Chain A
Amino acid sequence: MIEIDKEKCAACCGCVDHCPVAAISVIDDEVVVDSDICMECLICTKVCPLGLPHWVD
């Protein structure tokens, strides 16, 4: 599944915008991935300027 390092996240929401299935939302100004919707395409890992979303087993 995909996780985002919340400490470093600037909440620019680039991953929210680029997610093809709208699995990422910003809730209380924090970026959150819904792993039930996520299809693990890894697009968020490519577009994040800070390289924060990453794959964890």
Chain B
Amino acid sequence: MSELYDVIIVGAGPGGAMAAKVAGENGLKAALIERKKDTGVIRRICTMIMNIDERNYDEYIHWNPRGKKFVFPYNGFTINYDGPIRKVYGFHVITPGGKRVELGNVPKGKAEDKAVGYMVDKGYMCQIMIDEARDNGVDIFNNTNINQVRKEPDCVVLTDNRGSEYRGKFVIAADGVNSRIGRCLGFNRGRTFLGTYKDMARTYVGAEIPDEECLMFGLGWNCSVSLAPEIKEGYYHVAAASYNVADDLDAEIDKLLSAEPYATWFKNAKEIDHRSCCVSHIAVPIRVPFKDNVLLVGDSAWMQETSIPGAIMPGWRAAHSVTEALIDGKLNKEGISTYLKWWDKYFFQPVGKRMASSGSADMKDYLSSEDIDYLAGLVTEPLQATMNFFTIMSTIGKAFGGLLEKIGEERPDIMQKLMAMRSHPRELVLAKRCNDGCAITL
């Protein structure tokens, strides 16, 4: 029979790598399992941003440039990072007519050196944590796909694609948004399905983009489109995403790049031989991310994009809770209760609960490209800079709150559409998402 670990961590992304590092530092007999062979390479689309100096999950992350580390002062830990960094000064909404709603003024942010996001090499950042875990005696199994999990009286047994078994007193599942462990344990039953989100990106070099040090998100196209700098200077990625698996994302990117002003931006750009993608099975966040001695962390317990810090923090907390449980000799839910309380207080109650009721009508079903151009043109001053995905919408909402009267007078037709969109029944949205997506894995 295989040896019994104190804890097995599945998934070597930011959450799992952090959990493995902490488990090693705490002296646990631990294993980290990753399906990729090359742990330091990120293969999915990712903007790889750490949001800095703004409140998120009741944490306020700070970068220490001399010590080369990200500091999480509220939780009380740091992570080392000596790789490349690219500063990002905000988040802009772009429209088909070339209008731009700015959350964060890029030239001003640069002049004052006030970035809200630090783009990092996420693969390298994870590799640093994995190496630290290995140095502290954690067994690393790469190239290993875990696809079964079962509970035995004294342990959790994981089985990989070759039939090998791994036994642990606890398991920390950090296997991401489409968590197989979560699914195998029945976590998805009863979770409202919010859609299958399909995403594809192309990388370009040589694009000339005004105020490019920000994320740009397009409204008014058939799919969601976005533009973002990559960590490598001069590289830029253009992405299209949709809740409808039948949508042609390639065609949507072509459409974006063939219309002005975007065609000019990419006039001299060359698509390099690189294409990344990802597909997410999106369901509402899990309130109690624990069952059968398995703790879920990061995206596996969330819906999508809990963000890098949002994965690192639960990884850190979960590994400490497992340590406490082992010291107390309580190999059960009570033993790791600090993790569950912490998750409920800082993740589920303040953010997760709100996301659990999300699912609003698609803007494109109500507003034409021209309507969106008009609305975006109303916001002439840059809004407050943010990289916090959970407050972006409310920041935009607040700006439009003050403009409603003007819209009602100038464009009663658009006002009517906005009101109709607001009262669109959620059940219809969810039914459409089920129909357009692939909910079979529930």
Residue in contact with A47 in the complex, picked from B145, B276, B438, CB distance below 8 Å: B438
Q: How far is the CA of A18 from the CA of B143 in the complex (A)?
A: 19
Asked whether B199 lies within 8 Å of A49 as measured between CB atoms, the reply is yes
Cβ-based interface call for A22 (8 A): yes
* A22 and B180 form a contact (CB under 8 A): yes
Q: Which of B199, B246, B275, B277 has the most CB of A within 10 A?
A: B277
A51 vs chain B, min Cβ distance (A): 9
Q: Given A25-B161, A43-B440, verify A12-B279 contact (CB < 8 Å).
A: yes
Distance between Cα atoms of A17 and B300 in the complex (Å): 12
Note all chain B residues with C-beta closer than 8 A to A18: 178, 279, 281, 438, 440-441
Q: Which residues of B contact A47 (CB under 8 A)?
A: 196, 198, 245, 279, 438
CA of A13 to CA of B198 in the docked complex: distance in angstroms? 12
Contacts of A41 in B (CB 8 A): 440
Q: Does B287 contact A (CB under 8 A)?
A: no
B4 to chain A, nearest CB (A): 24
B37 touches A29 (CB 8 A): yes
Closest 8 CB pairs of A and B: A17-B178, A14-B279, A49-B277, A22-B147, A25-B161, A49-B200, A25-B145, A47-B279
Q: What's the Cα separation between A41 and B440 when bound, in Å?
A: 10
Residue count of chain B within 8 Å CB distance of chain A: 32
Tally of contact residues, A, Cβ under 8 A: 24
CA distance A25 to B12 in the complex (A): 16
The answer to whether A12 and B178 have CB atoms under 8 Å apart is no
**Which residues of A, 1-57, contact B by the 8 Å Cβ criterion?**
8, 10-14, 16-18, 20, 22, 25-29, 34, 41, 43, 46-50
Please state if A17 and B281 are interface contacts (CB–CB under 8 Å). yes
Interface string of B168-202 (1 = CB under 8 A from A): 00000000101010000000000000001011100
B305 at the A/B interface (Cβ < 8 Å)? Answer: no
0/1 interface trace, chain B 36-63, chain A, CB 8 Å (1 if under): 1110010111000000000000000000
Chain B residue at smallest Cβ distance from A17:
B178
Is A22 in contact with B277, judged by CB distance below 8 angstroms? no
Q: Is B35 an interface residue (CB 8 A)?
A: yes
Instruction: Knowing A29-B36, A46-B245 are in contact, say whether A10-B145 is a contact too (CB < 8 A).
Output: no
Query: Is B249 an interface residue when CB atoms closer than 8 A count as contact?
Result: yes
User: Cβ of A48: which chain B residues have Cβ within 8 Å of it?
Assistant: 277, 279
Residues of B in contact with A (beta carbons under 8 Å apart): 35-38, 41, 43-45, 143, 145, 147-148, 161, 176, 178, 180, 196, 198-200, 245-246, 249, 275-279, 281, 438, 440-441
Rounded to whole angstroms, the CA-CA distance of A11 and B180 in the bound complex is 17
Contact A28 B37 (CB under 8 A): yes
The distance in angstroms between the C-alpha atoms of A36 and B441, with both chains bound, is 20
Q: Please name the residue on chain A nearest to B245 by beta carbon.
A: A46
Contact A49 B143 (CB under 8 A): no
Contact across chains for A13 and B143 when beta carbons are under 8 A apart: no
- A interface with B by C-beta (< 8 Å): 8, 10-14, 16-18, 20, 22, 25-29, 34, 41, 43, 46-50
Whether the Cβ atoms of A17 and B180 lie closer than 8 Å is yes
Q: How far is the CA of A29 from the CA of B440 in the complex (A)?
A: 26
Q: Check B37 against A12 for contact (C-beta < 8 Å).
A: no
Separation of A49 and B201 alpha carbons in the complex (Å): 10
Shortest CB-to-CB span from B277 to chain A, Å, is 4
- Could you list some 12 contacts between A and B, CB below 8 A? A12-B43, A12-B279, A13-B43, A14-B279, A17-B441, A22-B147, A25-B147, A27-B145, A28-B37, A29-B43, A29-B143, A50-B200
Q: How far is the CA of A27 from the CA of B35 in the complex (A)?
A: 8
Q: Which residue of A lies closest to B241 (CB)?
A: A49
Residue of A nearest to B246 (CB): A46
Complex Cα distance A28/B144, Å? 9
Residues A10 and B276 in contact, CB atoms below 8 Å apart: yes
How far is it, in angstroms, between the C-alpha of A46 and the C-alpha of B438 when the chains are bound?
8
Quote the shortest CB–CB distance from A53 to chain B (angstroms): 12
Cβ-closest chain A residue relative to B239: A49
Assess A49 versus B278: contact at CB under 8 Å? Given A22-B161, A29-B37.
Answer: yes
With CB as the reference atom, state the residue of chain A lying closest to B159.
A22
Q: 17 additional contacts, CB 8 Å, given A10-B275, A26-B35? A: A10-B277, A11-B36, A16-B35, A17-B176, A17-B281, A18-B279, A18-B438, A22-B145, A22-B148, A22-B180, A26-B36, A46-B245, A46-B246, A47-B198, A47-B245, A49-B198, A49-B277
A50 and B147 alpha carbons, distance in the complex (Å)? 24
User: A12, B143: Cβ atoms under 8 Å?
Assistant: no
Contact B145 A26 (CB under 8 A): yes
Q: How far is the CB of A20 from chain B (nearest CB, A)?
A: 6
* Contact A50/B275 with A25-B161, A26-B36 known, Cβ cut-off 8 Å: yes
